[in-house]
Structure 1
Amino acid sequence: MTGETRPELQRDAERTRAELLAVATEVFAQSGFSGARVDVIAARTRTTKRMIYYYFGGKEGLYMAVLENAYRGIRDAEQRLQVDHVDPVIAMRSLAELTFDHHLDHQAFIRLVAIENIHRGEFISRIGSLRSLARPATTLLDEILQSGRDHGVFRTDVDALDVHLLISSYCVFQVANRYTFGFLFDVDFTDPVTRAHTRRMLGDIVIGWLTAI
């Protein structure tokens, strides 16, 4: 039998799509939706502009796929966290620190979120799957919070969305204000010592708040 087999073709298609998403993520995060150019994305990959239209239908389709993929990344990381039968205080700190690490290690994600907010959620509101994709985040927090309440260590007047808001706000700040805050106060959030300090501080803030009963 000559030529590539169907599984090989499928793997090639998956690799091409993954490469396009990775490159497009950086381009959109750097240039925004309006400034990003499809031909630039094609030139930085091993494919063509025509293939981008084939896989994603055009620039808008590619941008929305990038957004969905970026949100899926943090959700997948959260779901890999094993918290069953773990002390709820340790589990909550682990989740907060995992979120912190993911945000600092995937700064393009934060820039994409900022860009989407500049556009007033024009594109994210058209990705219905993201609502269901977001649910596991609060579900996991609900489970940890309930475990903490059952153990008598967590307060009862806080819900999962409250905790998610606190953690996300802190983590986003580290990236979104990295340069302005860094210039004004001469601090580098990416410095290993500073990063370890602010990572630990987030865990302390979350746990201190939740255990203030």
Structure 2
Amino acid sequence: MTTITTQQDILDVATAEFAAHGFAGARVDEIAARTRTTKRMIYYYFASKDDLYLAVLERAYAHIRAVERDVRVAELSPADALRTIAEATYDHHTTHQEFMRLVSTENILRAQHLRRSPTILAENSSAIGVLEQVIARGVATGDFRDDVDALDVHMMISAYACFHVANRHTFDAIFGRDMLDPALQPAHRALIGDMIVATMTCRARTGG
């Protein structure tokens, strides 16, 4: 097994362990037992539990940022670009529940690990930069309002997508609807695109 393969194997298992049990509850012994390596080897690649957890976070955030970058915004109208970004984010979050659990854990820890990562901070800045470009094009053509910034749009998209995973079980218990029911996904996916585009175009269409 190559070094890269070994590290990927460790990160795969560590992602599941941290997502299932949080940072405090995760056990490096358990990760070692479920990989084709040893605890000593894990600490060879990742100096501490903290460093392993940070590597898991960095890989998880890199994946969603790559999904966003794959949207060819320059080839789309501003409205279509926003809709596509929103739908791609929804698809990612609802099919990568471990990512949502990692984000929840890091919020409980007040982002103490995430703040240590220049990689994550740079990746997230680039995501906002893409939205800024799309919004600027829409404002310039008169299609978008100019009083909502890229960070607001990112927040709205993330909030809707995250809610489906973070509140899935309580929502189902209260209202009897599983928000991740496959039959509901096409409608929910379309709804986030509609919400974002409508938000950005509502004042532009009425002239303020």
Is the TM value for this pair above 0.5?
yes
Q: What one-letter code is carried by the residue in structure 2 that aligns with 1:34?
A: A
Q: Identify the match of residue 108 of structure 2 among 103, 118, 128.
A: 118
Letter in 2 for 1:140: V
Q: TM-score scaled to structure 2, two decimals? A: 0.94
Q: Which amino acid aligns with 2:25?
A: G
Which one of 61, 64, 78 corresponds to residue 71 of structure 1?
Answer: 61
In structure 2, how many angstroms separate the alpha carbons of the residues matched to 1:87 and 1:123? 37
In structure 1, the gaps of 5 or more residues are 1-8
Q: State how far apart, in whole Å, the 2-side matches of 1:171 and 1:97 are.
A: 9
Moved more, 27-36 or 183-192: 183-192
The answer to which of 156-165 and 143-152 deviates more is 143-152
**Structure 1 residue 53, shift from structure 2 partner:** 0.1
Q: Which residue matches 1:89?
A: 79
**1:49 Cα deviation from its structure 2 partner:** 0.9
Once the two structures are superposed, what CA deviation does each residue of 1:86-118 show, in whole Å capped at 9, x if it has no partner?
111111100000000000111111101111111
Matched residues in 1 for 2:106 and 2:68: separation?
22
Question: Counterpart of 2:206?
Answer: none
Contiguous gaps of at least 5 residues in structure 2: 204-208
Query: Matches of 2:157 and 2:125 in 1, distance apart?
Result: 16
Q: CA RMSD in A?
A: 1.1
**Alpha-carbon distance in 1 for matches of 2:37, 2:17:** 16
Is 1:179 matched up with 2:151?
Answer: no
Q: CA deviation at 1:128?
A: 2.7
Q: Distance in 1 between the 2:92 and 2:6 partners? A: 24
Residue 212 (structure 1) aligned with residue 175 (structure 2): no
- In 1, the alpha carbon distance for the partners of 2:77 and 2:122 equals 28
After the TM superposition, which segments of 4 or more aligned residues of structure 1 sit over 2 Å from their partners? Answer: none
What CA distance in whole angstroms lies between the structure 1 residues aligned with 2:60 and 2:128? 18
Select which of 105, 119, 128 maps to 2:95.
105
1:132 CA displacement? 1.1
SS in 2 for 1:154: coil
Matches within 5 A, 1:9-20: 12-20=2-10
Q: Distance in 2 between matches of 1:94 and 1:122?
A: 32
What secondary structure sits across from 2:202 in the alignment? coil
Letter in 2 for 1:92: L
SS class of match (1:182): helix
TM-score (norm 1): 0.92
Q: Within the alignment, does 1:150 sit opposite 2:140 as a pair?
A: yes
Does the 8 A contact of 2:139 with 2:146 survive in 1? yes
Percent identity of the aligned residues? 47
Separation of aligned partners in 1, 2:112 and 2:122: 18
Q: CA deviation at 1:148?
A: 1.1
